[in-house]
Amino acid sequence: MRILEGIVTTIDPSGTANIAPMGPKVDDAMQRFVLRPFQTSQTYKNLKQHGEGVLHVTDDVEMLARAAIGKLEEPPTLRPAEAVQGFVITDACRWYEFRVESIDDRQPRTEIEAEVVGMGRGRDFFGFNRAMHACLEAAILATRVGILPAEEVLEQIDRLATPIVKTAGDPERRAFALLSAYIAEELGKEAS
């Protein structure tokens, strides 16, 4: 088992889609996986009420960054999933429609076992790129402001700027700028 950093769509009781980066534990077969959402997340709340969703594999780090910090001003195009009640991000490289099998709420990071009941492929994955990985790390950092010490967050963001300068395209540059600004703002609030 290893972690796959993806994007999960779920729906709330009114049927509205929620889009959030999540890192489930997966194996190569991808017939089932284990999601580990914090109980404070909307993804957790939605899956408790409606145990179906869609896990997406994408190289769109700008969307991932925006979803991580709740700034999806222009949400991605969605279409209804086929095997579950939920939504597929149309631009994703691959997606896995899943049904919740069990929920273990005993720890703050709940373990949710999911069975894959449908999958699809969209477009090719771009491939490795250091700037994309830096954006992924920066997005995780952004969701941990207030949990990690401020100096650690700043030191890590500083280090991540190098692969951005060396390897980024416009989407990665935009994602990193957005995340850096968000982190600075959140740390400012923390300090005041």
Ligand X SMILES: Cc1cc2nc3c(=O)[nH]c(=O)nc-3n(C[C@H](O)[C@H](O)[C@H](O)COP(=O)(O)O)c2cc1C
What is the contact surface with ligand X in residues (CB under 6 A)? Answer: 5, 18, 20-23, 36-38, 41-43, 68, 70, 136, 139-140, 143
Would you say 51 and 99 are in contact if contact means Cβ atoms under 8 Å apart? yes
Q: Give the residue with the Cβ less far from ligand X, 70 or 169.
A: 70
Neighbours of 110 (CB within 10 A): 18
Would you say 42 and 20 are in contact if contact means Cβ atoms under 8 Å apart? yes
At 40, list the tokens.
């404070």
Least Cβ distance, residue 88 to ligand X (angstroms): 17
At 127, list the tokens.
């491939």
Query: How far is Cα of residue 150 from the mean position of the Cα atoms in its chain?
Result: 22
Least Cβ distance, residue 20 to ligand X (angstroms): 3
At 50, list the tokens.
């409606």
Q: Give the residue with the Cβ less far from ligand X, 41 or 180.
A: 41
Least Cβ distance, residue 23 to ligand X (angstroms): 4
Q: Give the residue with the Cβ less far from ligand X, 114 or 136.
A: 136
Least Cβ distance, residue 28 to ligand X (angstroms): 19
